[in-house]
Structures are given as C-alpha cells and as structure tokens.
Amino acid sequence: MITLQDVQDAAKRIEGAVLRSPFLRADGLSRLTGAEIYLKYDHLQATGAFKERGAANRIALLTEAERKAGVIAMSAGNHAQAVARHAKLAGIKATIVMPVHTPSTKVTRTASWGAKVVLYGETLAETAAHAHELADKDGLFFLHPYDDPAVIAGQGTMALEMLQDVPDLDVLIAATGGGGLLAGCTVVARALRPELEVLGVEVENYSAFAQTLSGKEIKVGGPTVAEGIAVRDIGQNPLEIFRNQHIEVVVVSEHEVERAVAMLVESAKQVTEGAGAAALAAVLAYPERFRGKKVGVTISGANIDSRILANTLMRNLLRDGRLLRVVVEMPDRPGMLAEVASRIGALGGNIIEVSHHRLFSSPSVQDAQLEVMIEARDAMHGAAIEASLAEVFTLRRI
C-alpha cells in the first residue's frame, strides 16, 4: 500500500519531466451546474493525458538491467503515449501493444515517440495477455498502466497539486478505468484532507469497479466514446485502497459523457476525449449531489479523433434541439420550396441542408417531400420554427 510520502517522493522525481498543470475555476460550467467547478487541466500534458505522471515515476525507478532490456506496455492509447515518451527521454526501448480498434490518433502519436507499436486484440484483456506473452518471450519489463504502486504514486501527484492550489475542496472526482488515478488521489486526500469526498466515475458499458464494490459479477462490453476507461480487468491494488477507504464509484451513461465533451468545448473552450470528460459527466448526471459544493474535476485526456469529436458535437446539438431534421410534406407546385425557406428564415432559423424528393418518396404523385436540416438557437427557438411550418405543411422529425 502506498503512502503520502510515496506520492511526495514521486512529485520530486518527476518534476521538470511532467507538467504541473493548471487547476482553475470554470465560471461557465459553475453557472450551468450550480456547483463551484474547478478543472484540473491535465490534458495539457505533452502526450495529452495524465498518464505521464505514473509512467515517468515508474521509468525513473527502473534498475539498470531493466533499462537495458527495455519496457513493454499495453494500453488503449494514453498510457501508451506516456510510456513511449518517457522511455524515449530516458533512452530506453519501448514496445506498446494496443487494441486493434484504438483511435488512429493515439496509434500515430504513440509511434511518433519512437515506440514499436503492436496492434492486437479486440479488448484490453486480450491486448494485455499478448503484451505479457511478448514480455516473457523477449525479456522486457512490463510497465502496468494502473496496478503498480509506483504508477499509482505518480498518478497521485495530480491530487497533491489540486489540494495545494485549492485546499478547501469539498469533492474530488476522477475518471476510473483500471483505478490508478483514483487510487493515487485517494491516498493523498485521506492523508491531507480526510473529510474530502473522493469519487470515481465509470461509463455504463464498463462499470467493473462499481459492480465489484457492490458485490456483483463483472459484466462489461460494447462500444463507448470513453475507450480510455473501457476496462474489464481492474487493478487489485486500487481495489484494496477503495475498499479500505470506502470509496464510491458512480456510473454515467454514454449520452452524459458525450454531453460533457460538448460542454467542455462550448463552456470551457477545452477539447477532451470521452474518458477525459467522464468526471464532469458525473456532475451532469447527479446535479443535486454537487450543487453548492466546491468540486475538483479532473480533465484526464484530450486524445480524441477529429471525426469522433465532430460527431459528438453534432449529436449534442440534435439532443439540445439546436439542430432539427424534419421532413416537410407539401404540394408539388411552384412556390412551395420558397414558402418553406421563407418561414424558416423569418424566424431566424438557418438552413444547413436540403434534400428535395418528388418521384419515389412522396405518398402521392401530386406531392413532394423536403428533408431539411435547420440550425436553431435553442430548443424553444426550434419548436417555434416547427410550429410555423406545421401551420401550412405536414411535418415529422427524423
């Protein structure tokens, strides 16, 4: 079991190699949530994620024999980049095994640090098994992403910085995959501020800690925008810490994670990946729990594919009613298209896309269908546009 001293030693060890990231009040998010939100900008690390803390500390503690042999790691991306970077800085060879469906941006960036990248396995469990096989075969040091005391101590330096900057936090929330970050934060919080509530966050398809802590069988799987915390095999060291310190891990939905990604872009002007936004998703999912409290929210990663980010933002616009997709059924005669455009424009709506169908989609040869995508200011504005169109035309959403 690691101690506060282990974390403090790690902080000295990695100083200069890892960014001491800002921890600042987020006014926009505070107004929207009713909580006093402070964001820990750890996605500003060189590799775009907090994982550098644990990797830097563990690599600094390698023996000379382990350095000569080289290291191997398995990861969905952020630990991979962290190990690759700090191995390069230390002049050590690194092999990284990643799931075959890891976002391309993470694969590319990992390779750019000079590591050998091996894509293997549909899940992290399969990836980990293959990494262990290669470690045994080639005599490499296996650098675990979360179930290593030195890694946990390194991750705990995040909480050390947070409490140095804002000592009177009421709650500290951290995204939870294998548990290393939350475990390190727990050690620091219990030593420095025993009354501070420490909370972990998992996504619904991968809630292994929440299931285990409640005595249930682990059942995980399926797609998730938060692939960085999509873990089946949780850390046993973190699990012991959580049980001893009675730490709670809450579960959030995919929609809440997507909403958190969008809110960080719009209200905090920060681009994050799904796992990086999971801590904020907990505030959105359980607003009454945090209202009026001073809440430290970790932004743990920013490595998101541009396409996924774009789709996430568009999906959020649709859910918020700021983007409408409607089918307008209208008589097939001159002036009808102009009437639709006029009604939308009169209310300040912006037509994004139009598709006009005459021959095969309409119920009658006398009719036409118009598929329209409209940008609105908010849900009430969108409803007003729909109401205006419905005065003249038959309307349905798609």
Residue owning tokens 């119920």: 363
According to DSSP H, which parts of the chain are helical?
Answer: 4-14, 27-33, 52-60, 64-69, 78-90, 104-112, 124-138, 149-165, 180-192, 208-213, 236-245, 254-268, 278-285, 287-290, 306-320, 336-346, 379-390
pTM value is: 0.90
Please give the pLDDT value at position 265. 97
Please give the pLDDT value at position 361. 57
Q: How many CA atoms lie within 13 A of 252 on its CB side?
A: 34
Please give the pLDDT value at position 76. 75
Domain 4-49+148-315 part of CATH 3.50.50.60:
no
Under CATH, to which class is 52-142 assigned? alpha beta
Please give the pLDDT value at position 367. 82
Helix or strand (DSSP H, E) at 24? strand 23-25
Distance CA 130, CA 73 (A): 10
Q: What is the CATH number of domain 322-397?
A: 3.30.70.260
Per-residue pLDDT tens digits for 208-265 = 999 999 999 999 999 999 988 999 899 999 999 999 999 999 999 999 999 999 999 9
Distance CA 57, CA 180 (A): 13
Please give the pLDDT value at position 362. 56
Per-residue pLDDT tens digits for 6-43 = 999 999 999 999 999 999 999 999 999 999 999 999 99
Domains 52-142 and 322-397 alike in fold? no
Please give the pLDDT value at position 368. 87
Regions of the chain with pLDDT less than 50:
none
| φ/ψ of residue 350, rounded to 5 | -115, 120
| CA dist 3 → 18, 170, 185, 188, 242 (Å) | 21, 22, 11, 8, 14
Chain centroid to CA 178? 14
How many residues make up the chain in this entry? Answer: 398
Give the residue extent of every domain in the chain. 4-49+148-315, 52-142, 322-397
